[in-house]
């Protein structure tokens, strides 16, 4: 016990050198707290982005790749392979997926019993028929359910929700059946195939009211239903049908496994299975850059700081050689002298740990905001340049650019930096290492001297 | 009763052939004040280092209470059995007087006493006030530091007190007081007090005076309280020649 008491008294007795040691230790700890806190927070955000974007897989035709391989527009059309709707559904039957969202659109529809809504397209004064579309999604669309003014959302097969204007001009009431015909024979003629038109008998269970200008996605003649309604109609080909599918991986690392699986199920080579990498890069780019910078800074701080601390510890213990000689001459065991010196180092570093955790935590958020803000601004500036390049590329490739996929995504510009248990554990380990470094140097030096030798040198 | 025994002790400095002692045999009795005199560089301090377990003889045997010093834990020996008053004092200069003394008690492992009270008593015994006891060593005079060094050596109530020029920085009154303490420790408490000195005042209180020259120890005649001469080595050397 007296060793600890004496060690604490020693800290007060030798303020100058201990303040120097504490200042260096504190600087290292604050640096480590700030960098590790920011690093961990950035990792967390990146993981979230990765889970959000990195787990969302799309399967699409590699148009850019086909262009790069020298195909012209005509060859591209000839080589385009349409994946039947049942294959999209079959791909979703995978252990690597947590969820799949299918969206299908049936267009080129006509109806003998329904009048289409007429509207004036923006920029013109001419009143035009708004063509019918049947839109089916496997995901509940809350935007739609929020604007249903009569009835309810569709649930069963062939149940639909329609626009109130369409209902009004056709005197449609809830429970009425509407009939539409998908003109597949027209598409078949164009493709040189014999296809029969596909009739739809749909029951209206809800009526929505949408402001065209506030909600441009909704068109007056759009008829919303479930994906199952469209899929159950039976489709030999994708003619007359637009189909998209988003597959959500259980873990972003399953991408390759999932791709192998769908290839084995017959996915053509002209299709690519990918996450939205451009979007991921755009959203996570500044965060990744900041994470990398703070990690580098952290390593530099720890290496340089440790070297400085080792040097100071070495000089301090040389200065304390006489004290060690006196204690040893009084009969104090070598191990007890070492314990005392280690205790001093531990007390200094523990105090620095407490102060460093508080100060580091206080300054980490503003530093993170500053670092991230600069990187986001730089990324936005780069994005504007890319946008201009894209306009040129759209002209050349008809808009089928991979980089287009990042449109609508913005770099993540917010980070909440707070010290976590994980960071505290890491800092404690670093602190113990620093205490060991500064203490062990002393211990190694003092064990080399005999008390008489030290005292003789002094005399 | 013999406290400390030297048998055929030889010592030469490591790395040199300079012989300090050769086959020295000597007994230090408990209850006696023994002084060792000799010219500077004769090896008096080295002898004290051997006796206090800070150094090891090249050959021979030093026994304390019948046990060979080279076979026992010499740290414990120094901490519990010996009180050393160094010529250069060797106090912890950044610590207070009282802390120096309490630390000595702590190192010895002494228990069952109020260490602070004992420290104040010891300091008072050598003439250091309570106010000065709380001062750092560096803020005390050389004489005061020497007295604190003496108090520290007595802190753990050692059997053996080894002092190297313990009165060099003291005024006459304080020196007399300190010498009384040494005498009392030997004669009243039965301690073995060994003092290296050049001072006649110190040898005057000695029960035995040994001279050290050319690696040989000679028992010299002394004037004790009771008077009378003692055996001298052959050929006898005059004490006067060792005075400085």
Q: What is the CATH number of the domain that holds B46?
A: 3.40.50.300
Q: Which residues of A touch B79 (CB under 8 A)?
A: 330-332
Q: Which two tokens stand for residue B193?
A: 């007090």
Inside any domain, residue A65 = no
Helix (H) or strand (E) holding A102: strand A97-106
Q: pLDDT-derived band of residue A387, with 50, 70 and 90 as boundaries?
A: low
Q: How far apart are CA B185 and CA B205, in angstroms?
A: 12
Cβ atoms within 10 Å, residue B200: 12
Task: Look at residues A220, A247, A274 and tell me which one is the last residue of a structural domain.
Answer: A247
- Parent domain of B37: 2-242
Indicate whether A158 and A202 sit together in one domain. yes
Among the partner-chain residues B55, B87, B107, the one whose CB lies closest to the CB of A330 is: B107
Indicate whether A126 and A236 sit together in one domain. yes
| Percentage of chain A exceeding pLDDT 90 | 27
Indicate whether A419 and A286 sit together in one domain. yes
Residue with tokens 């050598």: B126
Our CA-based measurement puts residue B94 at a distance from the nearest CA of chain A, in whole angstroms, of 6
Indicate whether A291 and A237 sit together in one domain. no
Any A CB within 8 A of B104 CB: yes
pLDDT at A178 over 70: yes
Any B CB within 8 A of A458 CB: yes
Inside any domain, residue A262 = no
Which residue in chain A has the smallest CA separation from B75? A331
Closest C-alpha to A252, from A53, A41, A38, A82: A53
- CB of B53 closer than 8 Å to CB of B69: yes
Any A CB within 8 A of B40 CB: no
Q: How many CA atoms lie within 13 A of A223 on its CB side?
A: 30
Q: How many CA atoms lie within 13 A of A199 on its CB side?
A: 6
pLDDT tens, residue by residue, A146-177: 889 999 999 999 999 999 989 999 999 999 99
Q: Tell me what pLDDT residue B95 has.
A: 92
Which residue in chain B has the smallest CA separation from A333? B75
Among the partner-chain residues A6, A333, A455, the one whose CB lies closest to the CB of B75 is: A333
Any A CB within 8 A of B95 CB: yes
pLDDT tens, residue by residue, A68-114: 888 777 777 777 777 888 888 999 999 999 999 998 999 888 888 88
Question: Is A326–B91 a contact, with Cβ atoms under 8 angstroms apart?
Answer: yes
Q: Which residues of A touch B84 (CB under 8 A)?
A: 329-330
Report chain A's mean pLDDT, rounded to a whole number. Answer: 84
Q: How far apart are CA A120 and CA B27, in angstroms?
A: 126
Inside any domain, residue A19 = yes
Q: Which of A298-312, A316-330, A393-407 has the lowest mean pLDDT?
A: A393-407
Helix (H) or strand (E) holding B103: helix B97-108
Which residue in chain A has the smallest CA separation from B45? A456
Q: pLDDT-derived band of residue A316, with 50, 70 and 90 as boundaries?
A: confident
**CB-defined contacts A:B, below 8 A:** 57
Indicate whether A313 and A183 sit together in one domain. no
pLDDT at A448 over 80: no
Q: How far apart are CA A157 and CA A225, in angstroms?
A: 8
Structural domain count, chain B: 1
Residue with tokens 């280092």: B49
DSSP string, A161-214: EEEHHHHHHTT--TT-EEEEEE-HHHHHHHHT-----EEEEEEEEEEE---TTT
Q: How far apart are CA A28 and CA A25, in angstroms?
A: 5
Q: Tell me what pLDDT residue A213 has.
A: 60
Our CA-based measurement puts residue B197 at a distance from the nearest CA of chain A, in whole angstroms, of 17
Question: Is B54–A459 a contact, with Cβ atoms under 8 angstroms apart?
Answer: no
Question: Is A455–B77 a contact, with Cβ atoms under 8 angstroms apart?
Answer: no
Question: Is B94–A327 a contact, with Cβ atoms under 8 angstroms apart?
Answer: no
Q: Tell me what pLDDT residue A401 has.
A: 39
Three-class SS state of A101: strand
Q: Which residues of A touch B82 (CB under 8 A)?
A: 331
Q: Which two tokens stand for residue A45?
A: 């955000």
Closest C-alpha to A276, from A55, A48, A43: A55
- CB of B19 closer than 8 Å to CB of B10: yes
Q: Tell me what pLDDT residue B105 has.
A: 95
Indicate whether A407 and A332 sit together in one domain. yes
Indicate whether A301 and A398 sit together in one domain. yes
Q: Chain A window 308-367: which residues touch B at a Cβ cutoff of 8 Å? A: 323, 325-334
Q: Which two tokens stand for residue A104?
A: 């299908």
Among the partner-chain residues A13, A325, A331, the one whose CB lies closest to the CB of B78 is: A331
- Low pLDDT (below 70) residues in chain B: 1-2, 222-244
pLDDT tens, residue by residue, A19-67: 988 998 899 899 999 999 999 999 989 988 888 888 889 888 888 888 8
Q: Tell me what pLDDT residue A144 has.
A: 83
Task: Look at residues A201, A221, A247 and tell me which one is the last residue of a structural domain.
Answer: A247
Any B CB within 8 A of A2 CB: yes
Parallel, antiparallel or unpaired: strands A222-226 and B82-85: unpaired
Q: Tell me what pLDDT residue A218 has.
A: 59
Which residue in chain B has the smallest CA separation from A335? B75
Structural domain count, chain A: 2
Within chain A, how many helices (H) and strands (E) appear?
15, 13
B148, exposed or middle or buried, with CB in 10 Å at 0-12, 13-18, 19+?
Answer: buried
Q: Tell me what pLDDT residue B183 has.
A: 92
Which residue in chain B has the smallest CA separation from A9? B95
Q: Which two tokens stand for residue A368?
A: 């993170």
Task: Look at residues A204, A230, A247 and tell me which one is the last residue of a structural domain.
Answer: A247
Exposure pattern of A359-391 as b/e (b: 16+ CB <10 Å)? bbbeebbebbeebbeebbeebeeebeeeeeebe
Q: How far apart are CA A21 and CA A15, in angstroms?
A: 10
Q: Tell me what pLDDT residue A398 has.
A: 34
- Parent domain of A121: 98-247
Question: Is A451–B107 a contact, with Cβ atoms under 8 angstroms apart?
Answer: no
| Percentage of chain A exceeding pLDDT 70 | 92
Q: Which residues of B touch A459 (CB under 8 A)?
A: 87-88
């Amino acid at each position: 016990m007296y060793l600890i008491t004496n060690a604490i008294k020693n800290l007060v007795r030798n303020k100058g050198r201990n303040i120097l040691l504490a200042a260096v230790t504190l600087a290292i700890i604050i640096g480590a707290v700030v960098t590790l806190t920011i690093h961990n927070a950035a990792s967390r955000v990146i993981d979230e982005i990765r889970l959000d974007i990195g787990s969302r897989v799309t399967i699409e035709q590699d148009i850019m790749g086909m262009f790069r391989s020298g195909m012209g527009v005509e060859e591209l059309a000839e080589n385009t392979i349409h994946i039947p709707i049942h294959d999209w559904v079959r791909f979703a039957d995978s252990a690597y997926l947590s969820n799949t969202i299918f969206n299908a659109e049936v267009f080129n529809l006509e109806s003998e019993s329904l009048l289409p809504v007429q509207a004036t397209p923006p920029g013109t004064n001419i009143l035009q028929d708004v063509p019918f579309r049947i839109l089916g999604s496997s995901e509940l669309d809350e935007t739609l359910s929020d604007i249903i003014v009569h009835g309810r959302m569709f649930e069963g097969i062939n149940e639909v929700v329609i626009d109130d204007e369409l209902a009004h001009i056709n005197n449609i009431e809830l429970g009425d059946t509407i009939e539409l015909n998908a003109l597949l024979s027209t598409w078949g003629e164009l493709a040189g195939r014999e296809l029969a038109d596909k009739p739809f008998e749909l029951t209206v269970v809800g009526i929505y009211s949408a402001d065209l200008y506030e909600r441009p996605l909704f068109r007056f003649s759009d008829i919303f239903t479930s994906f199952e309604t469209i899929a159950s109609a039976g489709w030999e080909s994708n003619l007359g049908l637009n189909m998209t599918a988003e597959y959500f991986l259980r873990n972003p690392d399953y991408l390759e496994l999932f791709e192998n699986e769908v290839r084995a199920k017959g996915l053509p080579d002209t299709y690519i299975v990918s996450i939205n990498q451009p979007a991921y890069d755009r959203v996570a780019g500044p965060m990744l850059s900041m994470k990398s910078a703070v990690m580098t800074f952290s390593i530099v701080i720890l290496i340089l700081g440790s070297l400085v601390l080792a040097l100071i510890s070495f000089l301090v213990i040389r200065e304390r050689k006489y004290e060690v000689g006196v204690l040893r001459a009084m009969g104090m065991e070598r191990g007890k002298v070492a314990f005392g010196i280690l205790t001093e180092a531990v007390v200094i570093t523990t105090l620095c740990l407490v102060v460093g955790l508080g100060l580091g935590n206080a300054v980490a958020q503003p530093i993170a905001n500053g670092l991230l803000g600069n990187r986001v601004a730089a990324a936005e500036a780069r994005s504007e340049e890319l946008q201009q390049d894209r306009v040129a590329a759209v002209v050349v490739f008809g808009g089928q650019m991979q980089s287009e996929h990042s449109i609508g995504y913005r770099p993540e510009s917010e980070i909440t930096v707070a010290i976590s248990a994980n960071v505290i554990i890491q800092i404690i380990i670093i602190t113990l290492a620093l205490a060991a470094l500064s203490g062990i140097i002393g211990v190694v030096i003092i064990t080399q001297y005999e008390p008489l030798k030290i005292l003789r040198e002094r005399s | 009763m013999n406290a400390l025994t030297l048998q055929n002790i030889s010592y030469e400095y490591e790395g040199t052939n300079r012989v300090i002692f050769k086959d020295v045999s000597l007994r230090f009795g408990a209850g006696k004040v023994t002084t060792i005199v000799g010219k500077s560089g004769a090896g008096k301090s080295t002898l004290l280092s051997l006796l206090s377990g800070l150094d090891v003889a090249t050959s021979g045997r030093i026994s304390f209470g019948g046990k060979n010093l080279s076979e026992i834990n010499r740290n414990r020996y120094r901490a519990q059995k010996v009180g050393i008053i160094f010529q250069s004092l060797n106090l912890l200069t950044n610590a207070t007087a009282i802390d120096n003394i309490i630390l000595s008690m702590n190192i010895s492992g002494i228990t069952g006493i109020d260490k602070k009270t004992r420290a104040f008593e010891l300091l008072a015994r050598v003439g250091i006030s309570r106010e000065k006891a709380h001062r750092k060593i560096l803020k005390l005079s050389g004489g005061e530091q020497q007295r604190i060094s003496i108090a520290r050596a007595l802190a753990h109530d050692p059997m053996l007190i080894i002092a190297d020029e313990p009165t060099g920085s003291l005024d006459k009154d304080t020196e007399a007081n300190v010498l009384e303490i040494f005498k009392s420790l030997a004669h009243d408490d039965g301690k073995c007090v060994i003092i290296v000195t050049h001072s006649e005042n110190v040898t005057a209180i000695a029960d035995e005076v040994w001279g050290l020259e050319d690696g040989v120890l000679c028992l010299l005649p002394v004037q004790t309280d009771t008077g009378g001469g003692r055996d001298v080595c052959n050929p006898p050397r005059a004490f006067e020649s060792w005075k400085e």
